[in-house]
Amino acid sequence: MKRFLVVGLGNPGIEFEITRHNAGFLFLDYLNLGNFSSFRDSLINTQIMFDMQVTFMKPTTYMNSSGLAVSEFVNFFDVPIENILVIFDDISLPVGKMRIRAKGSHGGHNGIKSIINCLNSSDFKRIKIGVGDKPENWDLADWVISKFSSDELESLNSVFNNCKKSVDLILKDKILESMNLFN
């Protein structure tokens, strides 16, 4: 059976739960998949969807080392690069927006940079979730670990609904359709 990996990026720990950098974790929580189990440096939940084994992953390595957890899983289960989707925060998009890409550069995102380095490829699919640009007098590191406001969390719910639709289309090998609908 074909295997697909959907990675939601974030940082483990209660202090990071509703922070901007945890947009990927928050999306996986939104899916309400049930319990996650430990697999090496990650938490995973595997579902059968569209005649595939789809594993949803939360790396527990912290953002800047996300590639370690992803590569451990990919190497253990021999998952092809084209069967990987990573969902993560993007400061260049406002809260409430998302962007889908078939592949690309890290764009300055350390979690994506780690995955590219560990997989030795940038050819995996991505969904970027807007978390807003940092205010003028903020340090970037402080901004991405700042908590979403209640209004921003409300905006994320509609984005997460579209992310779910996008994930379903990508799993059906319809990424272009997904990009046309949601970009």
How many CA atoms within 13 Å lie on the side-chain side of 139? 3
Q: Enumerate the H helices of 135-174 as residue ranges.
A: 140-144, 150-171
| C-alpha span between 171 and 108 (Å, rounded) | 27
**Helical packing angle, 110-119 and 66-77, nearest 10°:** 30
- Give Cα 88 to chain centroid, integer Å: 4
Distances (CA, A) of 131 to 125, 145, 168: 19, 11, 22
- Give me the active site residues, please: 21
